[in-house]
Structure 1
């Protein structure tokens, strides 16, 4: 609360009387200062109650008018005269100019010395400082209680109540997350534009004057890019206690956001463990693993955009925290973000997000790189269901391993062209026709002809290498392959037969998933 000329007039033990300038009684008094200079303005800063016995006051009425005008234009609060033999009455020209300018002129009467007025003003400011500190401490305690009871909205409400203003919480990209009270949207647009347009600096607070009001913007977080922004709209200028309360609110909000981040991280770690069961399942059991995942873990509706993000320095696990912040920023919907997957894997960080147009991938890639503060590469692939996620990860990881920014399988892999040319039902019938004899033999006799042929072809028909991978003797492998040729009716020496077997065995993994329609 500022000290006004009216407050000084009402102070006990001071004998002061108003002579002119009644309309200026609300002028704020910052200091009481004695000067006898004819022009003290170069030594004043504004807000002073100037006290004089009139030694510097000219006898010329025009100069007297100019004297009052200079003090008023310099922002002084008022002028006080002590009348004695030198000046028995305040000149009429001074009083008339004071009334015209709404500039209070006082008389220091009785036994009140100038020093008593100066001390009274100084003591009031000292006491006000103590009162302000007490109010600030009470407000800080209220904000701390609000943080425990109401989280971020409670903090915003307490700050608004104790500053007489309005508050707003923005995410790192300038989108509104909460406001207290929810009244005036005009200034909200100014705050959002300042953050989204880059006016607000990453690691500092700024104040934007808006006439009688001030918009204060402060970044949230203790290191790295901001986790959000606190906007405070209140009457200016910003007092010290308002800045202090805004700083504490920013700290409490940062702690709240960090706590929410850690809670989300724990929830996503549990979801990642469930997704890993699908990614680690063999191709034959992925469908059943996906069904189990859907039964115990809520997910967004397919189709999905599956991303694999790799750090150039190999620290893929360190990207998880950055990815959580990036998901919250890019998706902009906490409910949707909670249903996504963030799963660290040896070949990169896997993200499964809802497919959108345009794709989320490029924005996620940019935001993860910015938050993590390191060079990353990312690949993406479409999956039309949970059972296709493992295959999509394989293709996305191959794109990310190239180490050239962000790329999507549909834009880069020739196999995507083959996928779009194939009829899924027809491809399934082809694979069934080629592999059915081998699968039935394996089921009846407990053999592993399908996996044996698959490994042999994947190893480029190299007998020694395939035997090592299968961990069997090469003669055992020869025997299995002869049985496979007899059961399937296809010779592994015939290029056409090898192609049929290889396509039937590999089409599901070589061709990217997510075919439209």
Structure 2
């Protein structure tokens, strides 16, 4: 609430009346200043009620009009002139110019001293500061009580009410989790982009201009990645009290988010032994005691040098991946050896497991790879974990995205693959090495062409009789005919396993 020249003239304690410039009587007075200087402009900041006995007006009409012009250009709110036995009020040139400019000219009459007018203005501003402080204290108390009763939505409601603004609570991904009013405002997209742009910058408050309004964007949390952001759109320029209230609200919201995060971590720690037993097939409580989302599930394997730390990070990231939903609260997390296992609701692309891995990736600490496999129910969990572990290499790899042959090849250990390849192809490779033939190369193309002589001969660029001669030699070395399906299956499998090192250090291809 401001004080204006009209308020000064209406004060019954003061004998002050307006004699010119009435259309400017409702301008707010920032301060009252007494001066008798001919040109006081350099001592003014704007918004003043200037009080004078008229000693600086000048002696000519032009000087008097120029005096009022200087005050008007300096942003003065009004001119108050003393009336006594020697000074009969403002000269007519001052009155006429005040009417023309809309700059109020007041007359201070009777026994009213200038100090009484100055004190009236000062007392008003002091009382207004006290009222504003009381409003801030009342709003702080209301937000604190709302935080205990209704949580973040209550804090946002009280902040919006105290500042006559709009409030938003954004999660760490910039998505709105609460808003007052509830409808998402048109400036949300700009705030979200600004929040994500500032995600890696130092914490604090940013003020964005929005026409005549202002938007305060405050990060939540004290260390590490921001837990979220508070956005407040104020219809007026931001005052120190508005900043104070926004900071208080941000502290209350951060405490709530930290408490929620700690609660999530504790809940996953308490459920971890039961889930670990179900995933490893170890004896333990009945699988039906698992409070997981409804199957089918996606079992995710995340290898880590610090699985306990990664498990806590995963508990935080689940809310980002699944939202603050029942599925996020019921999803399973536990450490298994040197890794974290997660049991999530199974969905088509984009899969939750891949999003979780993306949210946890860190260039320095990993996890650099993740494997995933579907599970239809509790009985499938051990095998799903085992297959997810085998799939966990560089990047994210889901068993469903891998062909059957890749699954078989990844399941065969290198030693076994090398032994199988030697058993099937060893004699052929020895013959090629001794006689300079290309039996292995020829058989690879022959099998890839579906055992078709004409097509294989064209691909190799040889005559079909030459190809038939090579195939007869291969049958003689193998001691088996190529017409047998089992022979062709063993040859194709051996030729298509991962390249294995030879005894001399070279690699079969």
Q: Report the TM-score when normalising by structure 2.
A: 0.70
SS in 2 for 1:186: coil
Report the CA distance shift for 1:278/1:65 in structure 2 as closer, same or farther (over 3 A): farther
Distance across 2 between alignment mates of 1:309 and 1:235: 50
| Structure 2 partner of 1:125 | 125
Report the CA distance shift for 1:296/1:25 in structure 2 as closer, same or farther (over 3 A): same
| Structure 2 partner of 1:256 | 256
User: In the alignment, is residue 10 of structure 1 matched against residue 10 of structure 2?
Assistant: yes
Distance across 1 between alignment mates of 2:400 and 2:295: 24
Deviation digits for residues 117-166 of structure 1 (CA, Å, limit 9, x no counterpart): 22222222222222222222222222221111111111111222222222
CA RMSD of aligned residues (A): 3.9
Say whether the 8 Å CA contact 1:308–1:393 is kept in structure 2.
Answer: no
Distance across 1 between alignment mates of 2:189 and 2:61: 53
Q: CA deviation at 1:417?
A: 4.1
Map of 1:87-98 to 2, 5 A cutoff?
88-98=88-98
Distance across 1 between alignment mates of 2:326 and 2:144: 27
| Structure 2 partner of 1:299 | 293
User: In the alignment, is residue 345 of structure 1 matched against residue 332 of structure 2?
Assistant: no
Report the CA distance shift for 1:144/1:32 in structure 2 as closer, same or farther (over 3 A): same
Deviation digits for residues 7-42 of structure 1 (CA, Å, limit 9, x no counterpart): 333345322212233333332222212233344333
Q: CA deviation at 1:399?
A: 6.4
| Structure 2 partner of 1:205 | 205
Say whether the 8 Å CA contact 1:202–1:226 is kept in structure 2.
Answer: no
Distance across 2 between alignment mates of 1:64 and 1:208: 45
| Structure 1 partner of 2:229 | 229
Distance across 2 between alignment mates of 1:174 and 1:232: 14
| Structure 1 partner of 2:445 | none
| Structure 2 partner of 1:80 | 80
Q: 1:408 aligns with which of 397, 421, 444?
A: 397
**Does 213-222 or 3-12 show the bigger shift?**
3-12
Gaps of 5+ in 2: 420-485, 494-509
**Does 342-351 or 81-90 show the bigger shift?**
81-90
| Structure 2 partner of 1:418 | 406
| Structure 2 partner of 1:463 | none
| Structure 2 partner of 1:380 | 371
SS in 1 for 2:215: strand
Q: CA deviation at 1:412?
A: 10
Deviation digits for residues 326-358 of structure 1 (CA, Å, limit 9, x no counterpart): 221233342331232222333122223334423
Q: CA deviation at 1:204?
A: 0.9
Distance across 2 between alignment mates of 1:85 and 1:259: 74
Say whether the 8 Å CA contact 2:301–2:388 is kept in structure 1.
Answer: yes
Distance across 1 between alignment mates of 2:391 and 2:92: 89
SS in 1 for 2:218: strand
| Structure 2 partner of 1:173 | 173
Who wins on radius of gyration, i.e. which is larger?
2
User: In the alignment, is residue 105 of structure 1 matched against residue 105 of structure 2?
Assistant: yes
SS in 1 for 2:308: coil
User: In the alignment, is residue 308 of structure 1 matched against residue 302 of structure 2?
Assistant: yes
User: In the alignment, is residue 364 of structure 1 matched against residue 366 of structure 2?
Assistant: no
Count the aligned residue pairs: 418
Distance across 1 between alignment mates of 2:182 and 2:121: 40
Map of 1:234-249 to 2, 5 A cutoff?
234-249=234-249
Distance across 2 between alignment mates of 1:103 and 1:142: 43
Say whether the 8 Å CA contact 1:348–1:397 is kept in structure 2.
Answer: no
Say whether the 8 Å CA contact 2:292–2:332 is kept in structure 1.
Answer: no
User: In the alignment, is residue 271 of structure 1 matched against residue 262 of structure 2?
Assistant: no
Distance across 1 between alignment mates of 2:189 and 2:85: 62
Deviation digits for residues 156-186 of structure 1 (CA, Å, limit 9, x no counterpart): 1122222222222111222111112335723
Say whether the 8 Å CA contact 2:387–2:399 is kept in structure 1.
Answer: no
Deviation digits for residues 48-76 of structure 1 (CA, Å, limit 9, x no counterpart): 22222233334455554554444344433
Distance across 2 between alignment mates of 1:176 and 1:121: 45
Report the CA distance shift for 1:391/1:336 in structure 2 as closer, same or farther (over 3 A): same
Report the CA distance shift for 1:184/1:304 in structure 2 as closer, same or farther (over 3 A): closer
Say whether the 8 Å CA contact 2:82–2:89 is kept in structure 1.
Answer: no
